[in-house]
Amino acid sequence: MFGRTKCKEVPILVELEEQLTSDSCAKIITELIKYILYQKQQIPFSWDSLVQLQPRFKPNDRNYGFTKNLFASLESISGELTEQLHLGGCDVKEVVMLIGATTISPKFLIRVEIPGNILSSRRHMEFQHSYRKPLLTLMRTVIECQEFQDAMTVPLVPTNTFVLLQKSDSNPKSDFFLPKPQYSPNSQSLSFCIKLHHNEIRGDCQCSGIVRPYFDNPNDRLQDISEEKHDVVAPYLWYQSKEIVKGFKYQR
């Protein structure tokens, strides 16, 4: 029964009640990646368990190197994704996570469509727009999707996990997300499309009333207040993270 759905893309609509900032959007995508890595057996323990175990590993233990590289890779991806979502003149349309030996023939693929009215974290404060409620909404939605949970029960041999962006960017080329102009999500693999959508836009944001820091340089102030994403004219292209998350098994 499960095999019949392997070639279709399953849409998952996530109705958010809270506004997303560039920071909170990157965080919930990163948390989703952590969840999938564990469920698809790309890492031997949950992320929180690995964080607790890592200090106990000795430097000559292979598990120490595996977890150190894992943490560094995902931290880099998360930080660079935040920067891309935050950058003026850059419109990230979707983020793709895929698991497989190469990007051409993935064993599992998930697309996350980004809402167009994402807030700028430079104009809005994180404590006013926490990522926790959107994260709970996202995780509840994917857990309630039976087809997604069925897919999570199918393990994969530890392999590579790639992260790609589709974006329109008028800025100089990033040295982290590298152009991949010929890429197209492979519809022959099991895939899901998570569509982040604001169910209701709240109008009670207090960020505009928060005292801003003083800037000696007027240009810094101008940069701080001109953060609404302007219309970008660059075409939408695919870019691949130069960091690849390597799956591993626990070494006794």
pLDDT tens readout for residues 117-153: 777 666 666 666 778 899 999 999 999 999 999 999 9
pLDDT at 226 over 60: no
Reading the block at residue 60, the tokens are 């000559």
pLDDT tens readout for residues 36-53: 999 999 999 999 999 999
pLDDT tens readout for residues 158-195: 999 999 999 999 888 888 999 998 898 875 667 999 99
pLDDT at 223 over 50: no
Cα gap 138→8, rounded to integer Å = 21
Cα gap 156→172, rounded to integer Å = 37
Q: Answer with the residue of higher pLDDT: 208 or 85.
A: 85
**122: Cα separation from own chain's centroid:** 19
Query: Which residue type is seen at 60?
Result: N
Return the HEC string of 4-40.
HHCCCEEEEEEEECCCCEHHHHHHHHHHHHHHHHHHC
Quick check: 92 and 165 in contact, CB under 8 A? yes
